[in-house]
Amino acid sequence: MGNSNLHNKKSIVYGLVDGNNFYVSCERVFRPDLNGKPVVVLSNNDGVVISRSNEAKALGIPMGALFFEYEEFMKKNGVKVFSANFPLYGDMSKRMMNILSEFTPDIEVYSIDEAFLKFAGYDFVDLREYAFKIKNTVWKYIGIPVGIGLAPTKSLSKVANRIAKKFPEKTGGVYYIDSEEKIVKALKWLPVEDVWGIGRRLSKRLNAIGVRTAYDFTQLPDLWIKKNMGVTGLRLKQDLLGVPVLELEHLSHRKSIATSRTFDRVYSDKETLQEYISSFVAIAAHKLRKHKLKANGLVVYIRTNYHNTKAKQYTKTEVVTFPFSTDSTLVINRYAQEAFSVIYRPGYEYKKAGVVLFDLVPQKMARRSLFDSDDSNHSELMKVIDKINDSVGHQIVRLAAQSDAKKGWKSKQSKLSRRYTTDLNEVIEVKAK
DNA sequence: TCTGGGGTCCTAGGACCC
DNA sequence: TCTGGGGTCCTAGGACCC
């Protein structure tokens, strides 16, 4: 089918592959008994719903639903609840991306559950068939169901993916926008608020001027778009019209590393917050070293609970630039504590804090300090700490300033699945017949 | 009691320079 | 009378994404 125009279309095609209800699907890989049953995954502290199976969606549980509000309802309807298990999802993601990169060298890992693929020079391949092959391979090897959209541009591949998801019976989970007519049809079908790159704010304004669909958006004058959405909007319009202007982005390395938590209660005292900051630094710096990067600066921020309108509000961030690149937890923590002291004010109830490392450079390109002593980055010490912590799967070696589990640092995760793939002590047991 | 966490990019405006 | 102008760098904040 569709072979008539297979050989005269443009020779570059973009694909968007994404895992269906990814976190839920990851949990189901190890609990196949939950297939066909309603399942949700909760955020940190078991606060809100962040992933839902189709059955859970059908029950009317919205994204972001407060767990405490829905707990009864879920129990009554037999919904299986999991606390988020990010190490597991991250590992499954890596496996999925590895499989995808077998099918084309041009791949952009866009998020934990999504990747853009680029097919250049596949003129004599039936890409629709090829996409089914990709889908089936991922399913066979790691048990994750995916949807695939194909189109002449990136933003259209997003649209195609959405169609594949929306009409699973008709499409089989794969949809290819391979003609002008299909572009127009798809754009007229897609509500403007569902366009990739148009969020809540913009769609409100667009609706106000009568723009309802993606197609309507592409008919707006460039002047309006430039004025209200900047160059990003202009690019998006072109890309949606089928002119490929959005390229695959091969991020050589990430640009920032953030660690933050919303606390399960509020804290006012300086010491507790200092301990949290230290813990955040330890986690972020560990990630930094894992990616073989060093940071040239950091941000520390603290904030009160903005949902609690009765409480006195205070939000403050402090930016520090280091005199040299570093990946040492000790060095970074020293700067983080200094920054924290600048912004901390007593008398407020803090609900969230975080640190962000930025201006990251590969270890080799690190900026050295003028009087760099061999040990100013504690690289040997950090190696030892990382080795021990990696081997046990969590932070057992800590700075003296870091908080520990006893003090409630560990977030509430009452419904955690096991770390099947990343922790030797928790691998799934297979019984041979 | 209860409200996620981790990212990216763009723009406007100020400081500063010649 | 009539407030120069153009360039760069930096930062804060907005908007978006999953």
A326-351 pLDDT tens trace: 999 999 999 999 999 988 989 899 99
Task: Kindly report, residue by residue over A230-263, the tens digit of the pLDDT.
Answer: 899 999 999 999 999 999 987 667 889 999 999 9
Name the closest residue (CA) to the C1' of nucleotide C17. Answer: A197
List all residues 6 or more positions away from A159 whose beta carbon is below 8 Å from its beta carbon.
A149, A151, A177, A186, A187, A190, A195, A196, A214, A240
Name the closest residue (CA) to the C1' of nucleotide B5. Answer: A260
Least confident range from A20-34, A220-234, A382-396: namely A382-396
Q: Which nucleotides of C are covered by protein (CB under 7 A)?
A: 11-18
Structure tokens that stand for A184 in this block: 């127009």
Length A346 CA → C17 C1' (Å): 35
Task: Assess contact for A186 and A160: CB atoms under 8 A.
Answer: yes
**Average pLDDT value for residue range A273-299:** 91
Least confident range from A28-37, A100-109, A423-432: namely A423-432
Task: Kindly report, residue by residue over A162-216, the tens digit of the pLDDT.
Answer: 999 999 999 999 999 999 999 999 999 999 999 999 999 999 999 999 999 999 9
Length A296 CA → C4 C1' (Å): 38
A23 is near strand C: CB distance < 7 Å:
no
Q: Report if pTM > 0.85.
A: yes
List all residues 6 or more positions away from A223 whose beta carbon is below 8 Å from its beta carbon.
none
Length A427 CA → C15 C1' (Å): 42
